[in-house]
């Protein structure tokens, strides 16, 4: 029971992780687990200690807010940098995106198109020679 540590020290109270120390009233009480923060009528945030005696809830909330905000800002900056980096690779010209320097996928696609074009021309020439041969055979030339 946490109440047995009332009017003793914060360190003795907080040896039990389920206990909350209120520095202003020097009371040790059960931590209200149904709520994230202890209610003000139980103990003010600046006097409430849990886990360690040297950090109060008010400072903990401020520190966590600063750290969380900093992380969110850093995440936003990283996302913006990544988006800007991708946009800088491409420039808008006449409503269409043209690559300023072709990447490997673009080069590969261009090679594939060229190969298909060459094969198609070869097939066209082969078909033309076959048709010419048939025309000569039947004298329709």
> Domain for residue 30, yes or no?
yes
* Total number of domains in the chain: 1
The whole domain housing 10 covers 3-55
pTM (two decimals): 0.51
> Domain for residue 15, yes or no?
yes
> Domain for residue 81, yes or no?
no
> Domain for residue 126, yes or no?
no
> Domain for residue 50, yes or no?
yes
> Domain for residue 11, yes or no?
yes
> Domain for residue 32, yes or no?
yes
Continuous H helices in the chain: 10-13, 57-89, 104-138
pLDDT of the chain, 141 residues: tens digit per residue = 889 988 999 999 999 889 999 999 999 999 888 888 888 888 898 999 988 899 888 888 899 999 999 999 999 999 988 888 777 665 544 445 554 555 788 888 899 999 999 999 999 999 999 999 888 888 876
């Amino acid at each position: 029971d946490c109440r047995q540590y009332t009017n003793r020290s914060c360190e003795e109270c907080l040896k039990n992780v389920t206990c909350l120390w209120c520095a202003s009233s020097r009371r040790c009480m059960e931590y209200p687990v149904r709520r994230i923060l202890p209610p003000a009528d139980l103990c003010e945030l600046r006097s409430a200690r849990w886990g360690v005696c040297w950090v109060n809830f008010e400072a903990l909330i401020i520190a966590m807010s600063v750290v969380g905000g900093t992380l969110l800002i850093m995440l936003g900056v990283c996302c913006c940098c990544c988006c800007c980096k991708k946009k800088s690779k491409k420039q808008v010209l006449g409503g269409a995106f043209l690559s300023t320097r072709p990447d490997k996928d673009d080069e590969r696609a261009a090679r594939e198109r060229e190969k298909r074009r060459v094969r198609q021309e070869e097939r066209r020439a082969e078909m033309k020679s076959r048709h010419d041969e048939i025309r000569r055979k039947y004298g329709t030339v």
